[in-house]
Amino acid sequence: MKRFLLTILVAAAVMAVSGCARKSPGAELKPTAFGSALVESSGGKQIGLVGAALAQPLVVQVNDDQGAAVPGALVDFSGPAGITFDPAKAITDSSGQVTTNVALGGMAGRYELTATTFSKAHKIINLKLEEIALGYQQQLGQQLNERYCSRCHDPESTPERVSNYDNLEVKPHPFTEGEALNKLSDADLTAIISHGGPALNKFVLMPPYGLTLSKAEIQALISYIRLVSDPPYQVSQMVYGGK
Amino acid sequence: MEPRKNMLSSLWHELFGDPIRAFGVVSLVLLISLAIAPAKNYFSEWRHYQNQYLQMVRRRGEAVTLQRHFQGGIQQVWLPELGVVDRCTTCHVALKEASLADVAIQPFRKHPVIPHRLDQYGCVMCHRGQGAATTVEEAHRSTLAWEQPILPAKYTQSSCGQCHRGNLTGAAQLNEGRYLLSRYGCAHCHTIKLPAGTAMQPTDDPPSLEHVADKTTREWIYAWLKDPQAYALTASMPNFKLSDADARDISAFLIASSSAIPQDTAPVNAAKTAPDPTAGATLYGESFCASCHAVQNAAGNIVGGDVGPELTRVGSKVKAEWLQVWLRNPRIYDPGTAMPHYRFDDHQVSVLTGFLQAKTDADLLANVHLEAATPDQIGHGKSLVTEYGCAACHEINGIKRPENFAPELTRVGSKPVNQLVFLPGMAHTLPDYLAAKIRNPRSFGAALKMPQFSFTPAQVDALTTALLSLTDRSQNLPPSMTVPALPVSNYQPAGKAGHLMADLACFSCHAINGRGGDMAPDLSWEGSAVQQQWLKDFLKNPNTLRPALIRRMPKFNLSDNDITELTDYIMTVYQTPAFDRDSMPAGGYPPTLVEQGKQIFYSKYGCQSCHIVDSKVDKGYVGPTLTQVGSRLNAAWVYNWLKNPQALRPGTTEPNRGMTDDDARALTAFLMMQKGTVKQEVKK
B109, B170, B603 ranked by CB distance to A140: nearest? B170
A47 touches B: beta carbon within 8 Å? no
Distant-in-sequence, close-in-space partners of A120: CB < 8 Å, separation ≥ 6: A34, A36
Residue A124, beta-bridge partner list: A118
Confidence of residue B684 (pLDDT cuts 50, 70, 90): very low
User: SS3 breakdown of chain A: % helix, strand, coil, rounded to 5?
Assistant: 35, 25, 40
d(C-alpha B452, C-alpha B184), whole Å: 12
Distance between B328 CA and the closest CA of chain A, angstroms: 30
Beta carbons of B109 and A82 less than 8 angstroms apart: no
Q: Which has the higher per-residue pLDDT, B650 or A240?
A: B650
pLDDT digits (tens, 9 = 90+) for B190-221: 999 988 788 888 888 899 999 999 999 999 99
d(C-alpha B81, C-alpha B73), whole Å: 25
d(C-alpha A219, C-alpha A227), whole Å: 12
Q: DSSP E strands: which ranges in B235-308?
A: 294-296, 302-304
Which domains, ranges and CATH numbers included, belong to chain A? 28-134 (2.60.40.10), 136-237 (1.10.760.10)
Q: How far apart are the first and last CA of chain B?
A: 109
pLDDT at B352: 92
Query: Fold identical between B161-203+405-481 and B495-573?
Result: yes
pLDDT at A238: 55
Beta carbons of A62 and A70 less than 8 angstroms apart: yes
d(C-alpha B490, C-alpha B482), whole Å: 23
| Residue numbers in A near B610 (CB within 8 A) | 151-152, 164
Distance between B642 CA and the closest CA of chain A, angstroms: 13
Beta carbons of B331 and B337 less than 8 angstroms apart: yes
| A 94-153 → B contacts, CB under 8 A | 101, 103, 105-108, 135-137, 139-140, 143, 147-148, 151-152
d(C-alpha B606, C-alpha A164), whole Å: 14
| Residue numbers in B near A165 (CB within 8 A) | none
| Residue numbers in A near B601 (CB within 8 A) | none
Residue B546 clears pLDDT 70, i.e. is over it: no
Verify whether the Cβ–Cβ distance A143 to B653 is below 8 Å.
Answer: no
Q: In this structure, which CATH number among 1.10.287.3510, 2.60.40.10, 3.40.50.1000, 1.10.760.10 belongs to the domain B591-683? A: 1.10.760.10
SS3 B568: helix
Verify whether the Cβ–Cβ distance B621 to A162 is below 8 Å.
Answer: yes
Verify whether the Cβ–Cβ distance A50 to B170 is below 8 Å.
Answer: no
Segments in chain A forming alpha helices (H) = 2-23, 136-144, 150-153, 178-181, 186-195, 215-228
d(C-alpha A116, C-alpha B293), whole Å: 46
pLDDT at B251: 94
| Residue numbers in B near A137 (CB within 8 A) | 112-114
A49, A151, A243 ranked by CB distance to B154: nearest? A49
Q: Would you say how long chain B is, in residues?
A: 684
pLDDT at A21: 45
Question: CB neighbours (10 Å) of residue B677?
Answer: 11
Buried-exposed string B191-215: b where 16+ CB fall within 10 A, e elsewhere: bbebbeeeebebeeeebbbbbbbbb
pLDDT at A3: 57
Q: Using the 8-state DSSP alphabet, how is residue B139 labeled? A: I
Taking residues A189-206, report their average pLDDT: 87
SS3 B53: helix
pLDDT digits (tens, 9 = 90+) for B560-610: 999 999 999 999 999 999 898 888 888 889 999 999 999 999 988 989 888
Verify whether the Cβ–Cβ distance B155 to A167 is below 8 Å.
Answer: no
Beta carbons of A124 and A118 less than 8 angstroms apart: yes
Distance between B140 CA and the closest CA of chain A, angstroms: 14
Q: Using the 8-state DSSP alphabet, how is residue B578 labeled? A: S
Q: DSSP E strands: which ranges in B508-616?
A: 511-512, 515-516
Segments in B489-551 forming alpha helices (H) = 495-503, 526-529, 532-540
Beta carbons of A111 and A130 less than 8 angstroms apart: yes
Rounded to 10 degrees, what is the CA torsion of A9, A12, A14, A16?
-140
Gyration radius (Cα) of chain A, Å: 24
Mutate to test the interface with B, among A156, A211, A224 (most CBs of B within 10 A): A211
pLDDT digits (tens, 9 = 90+) for B525-535: 999 999 999 99
Q: What is the mean pLDDT of chain A?
A: 83
Distant-in-sequence, close-in-space partners of B333: CB < 8 Å, separation ≥ 6: B211, B214, B215, B261, B322, B325, B326
Residue A59, beta-bridge partner list: A42, A99
pLDDT at B243: 93
Protein fold of B495-573: Cytochrome Bc1 Complex; Chain D, domain 2 (1.10.760)
**Overall CATH class of domain B161-203+405-481:** mainly alpha
Confidence of residue A220 (pLDDT cuts 50, 70, 90): very high
Sort strands B294-296 and B84-86 into parallel, antiparallel or unpaired: unpaired
Q: Would you say how long chain A is, in residues?
A: 243
Residue A102, beta-bridge partner list: A85
pLDDT at A1: 47
Q: Using the 8-state DSSP alphabet, how is residue A177 labeled? A: B
Residue A203's Cβ-count burial label (10 Å; 0-12, 13-18, 19+) is middle
Domain boundaries, chain B: 2-42, 45-150, 161-203+405-481, 212-383, 495-573, 591-683
Verify whether the Cβ–Cβ distance A140 to B105 is below 8 Å.
Answer: no
pLDDT digits (tens, 9 = 90+) for B487-510: 888 899 988 999 999 999 999 999
Mutate to test the interface with A, among B291, B621, B648 (most CBs of A within 10 A): B621
pLDDT digits (tens, 9 = 90+) for B432-476: 999 999 999 999 988 889 999 999 888 999 999 999 999 998 888
d(C-alpha B649, C-alpha B172), whole Å: 21
Helix (H) / strand (E) containing B174: helix B172-183
Q: pTM of the predicted model, to two decimals?
A: 0.86
| Residue numbers in B near A206 (CB within 8 A) | 606, 609
Gyration radius (Cα) of chain B, Å: 34
d(C-alpha B329, C-alpha B315), whole Å: 19
Q: What is the mean pLDDT of chain B?
A: 88
Distance between B614 CA and the closest CA of chain A, angstroms: 14
Q: How far is CA B86 from CA B110, B116, B146, B419, in A?
A: 17, 16, 18, 26
Distance between A236 CA and the closest CA of chain B, angstroms: 5
Residue B537's Cβ-count burial label (10 Å; 0-12, 13-18, 19+) is middle
Taking residues B49-62, report their average pLDDT: 87
Question: CB neighbours (10 Å) of residue B440?
Answer: 14
pLDDT at B524: 92
Protein fold of B212-383: Cytochrome Bc1 Complex; Chain D, domain 2 (1.10.760)
Verify whether the Cβ–Cβ distance A212 to B169 is below 8 Å.
Answer: no
Question: CB neighbours (10 Å) of residue B78?
Answer: 13
Residue A20 clears pLDDT 80, i.e. is over it: no
Residue B9's Cβ-count burial label (10 Å; 0-12, 13-18, 19+) is exposed
Taking residues B155-163, report their average pLDDT: 93
pLDDT digits (tens, 9 = 90+) for A146-186: 989 998 998 888 767 778 888 888 889 999 998 888 888 88
Question: CB neighbours (10 Å) of residue A85?
Answer: 18
d(C-alpha B134, C-alpha B139), whole Å: 7
Sign of CA dihedral B109, B110, B113, B118: positive
Q: How far apart are the first and last CA of chain A?
A: 42
Residue B272 clears pLDDT 60, i.e. is over it: no
Sort strands A124-134 and A47-49 into parallel, antiparallel or unpaired: parallel
pLDDT at B98: 82
Verify whether the Cβ–Cβ distance B112 to A135 is below 8 Å.
Answer: yes
- Please tell me whether the peptide bond between B431 and the residue prior to it is cis, using omega within 30 degrees of 0: no
SS3 B461: helix
CA angle A154, A156, A160 (to 5 degrees): 100
Rounded to 10 degrees, what is the CA torsion of B207, B209, B215, B218?
120
pLDDT digits (tens, 9 = 90+) for A70-120: 999 999 999 988 898 988 999 999 999 999 999 998 888 889 999 999 888
Beta carbons of B214 and B322 less than 8 angstroms apart: yes
Question: CB neighbours (10 Å) of residue B586?
Answer: 15
pLDDT at B268: 53
pLDDT at B263: 66
Residue B260 clears pLDDT 80, i.e. is over it: yes
Closest CA in chain B for residue A164: B621
Confidence of residue B390 (pLDDT cuts 50, 70, 90): very high
Helix (H) / strand (E) containing B569: helix B560-573
Sign of CA dihedral B526, B528, B532, B533: negative
pLDDT at B681: 41
pLDDT digits (tens, 9 = 90+) for A41-68: 999 889 988 888 888 999 999 998 888 8
Q: Of B349, B360, B320, B341, which is closest to residue B214 (Cα–Cα)?
A: B320
- Please tell me whether the peptide bond between A87 and the residue prior to it is cis, using omega within 30 degrees of 0: yes
Distance between A198 CA and the closest CA of chain B, angstroms: 10
Closest CA in chain B for residue A211: B656
